[in-house]
A = this chain, B = another copy of it.
Amino acid sequence: MARPTMEDVARVANVSRALVSLVMRGSPKVSAQRRTAVLEAAEQLGYSPHVMARALASRTSTVLGVMLSDLHNPFFAEVADGLDSAARAEGFELIINSGGRSPARERRALNSLLSFRPAGLALLGPVVPSSAIESAAEESPIVLVSRSSRLSTVDTVNDDGEAGSRMAVDHLVSLGHRRIAHLDGGGGSQSALRRRGFQIAMREHGLEPEVFRSEYTDAAGAKAVKEMLLARETPPTAVVAANDYNAVGAISALEEAGLRVPQDVSVIGYDNTSLASMRHVSLTTIDQPRAEMGRLAAEALLQRVRDGRTDPVRKLLHPKLVTRSTTCPPPA
């Protein structure tokens, strides 16, 4: 269980500890001869540097903390993937953590990540109050994904949720729909933007926007549909859901009520997660470039860490429509 230290490697290679340190950090000012001696000794002992000791001594961590608002939502998993490969390519490690969509648990997760004194922090779809983010930003560079912020100390990476919702509406209108409802994301991140985009687009088409309160889960989507069907004698012919998860729940409830999707009611999701592309689901949805968002988040952090940038960056990505099997023209 006791791993070898630099001292051990130095002894075997017959050099000083400082020289081993230089080799480990890939310094050019080491003779080829010594370098190979050190590397051989390290290999032989199975040595690899102690990340924590290194962080302590150098006062510069190579750890990026990532908090997923929800470990179960594939959207975040896919962003994390993008972040991971970008960070790894630059020699950074990721430590992941999850905050169960609850502000209290998120706050704990945030503190836990901060206690590692990470080089930077990426928060994916956080729901903690802005003040918590602000105080965390005093201790570490922060980038927010899928959450906007006015704080001048944090970077953000978002898709244009307003534009995305408009695309959804435009698509449905072009198919001939006039009565279109929106199930919103409640207090979830980005939900206000998506809601507003829906409302604006509807009005531009001369249509009355109708919004039902919901959340970013499939259970909430089903519930909202039930309420919607109860509230209207003739249901809308199309539904713009808060996200893919929500859409799947909505579809279930519609089918349970005897309505066929898409023949009777078209449904459109948001995110284009792996869920939407599953063939059994085959959901028309709005795509966010998830891996790209992760990459940009990593980049933003690295710019602050390495290049010392201090002014905030706001990345806004363009969503796009992905047409699958849950939308078609309304019934005659």
**A residues adjacent to B (C-beta < 8 A):** 1, 3, 46, 48-53, 55-56, 71-72, 74, 77-78, 80-81, 84, 88, 93-98, 100, 108, 111-112, 114-117, 135, 138-140, 218, 222, 248-249, 251-253, 255-256, 274, 278-282
User: Chain B contacts of A255 at CB under 8 A?
Assistant: 280
User: Chain B contacts of A55 at CB under 8 A?
Assistant: 52
Look across to chain B and name the residue whose beta carbon is closest to the beta carbon of A254: B280
Contacts A48-B115, A72-B74, A77-B77 known; list 17 others, CB within 8 Å: A49-B115, A50-B56, A52-B53, A52-B55, A52-B56, A56-B56, A84-B98, A93-B112, A95-B95, A96-B96, A218-B278, A222-B279, A248-B279, A252-B278, A252-B279, A253-B279, A255-B280
A304 to B: closest C-beta gap in Å: 10
A88 to B97, CA, bound (A): 12
Q: Are A252 and B274 in touch, CB under 8 angstroms?
A: no
A78 to B: closest C-beta gap in Å: 7
User: Chain B contacts of A100 at CB under 8 A?
Assistant: 81
A108 to B93, CA, bound (A): 11
A53 to B49, CA, bound (A): 15
A72 to B80, CA, bound (A): 10
A72 to B116, CA, bound (A): 26
A258 to B: closest C-beta gap in Å: 15
Q: Are B96 and A95 in touch, CB under 8 angstroms?
A: yes
User: Chain B contacts of A71 at CB under 8 A?
Assistant: 77, 80-81
A244 to B: closest C-beta gap in Å: 11
A111-B48 contact in complex given A117-B3, A218-B278, A222-B279, C-beta closer than 8 Å: yes
A-B contact pairs, 12 of them (CB 8 A): A46-B135, A49-B115, A50-B56, A51-B115, A52-B53, A52-B55, A72-B78, A93-B112, A93-B115, A95-B95, A95-B96, A218-B278
A98 to B312, CA, bound (A): 30
A60 to B: closest C-beta gap in Å: 11
A45 to B: closest C-beta gap in Å: 12
Q: Are B138 and A1 in touch, CB under 8 angstroms?
A: yes
A280 to B52, CA, bound (A): 47
A77-B81 contact in complex given A96-B97, A278-B248, C-beta closer than 8 Å: no
User: Chain B contacts of A278 at CB under 8 A?
Assistant: 218, 248-249, 252
Look across to chain B and name the residue whose beta carbon is closest to the beta carbon of A62: B115
A135 to B96, CA, bound (A): 24
A139 to B: closest C-beta gap in Å: 6
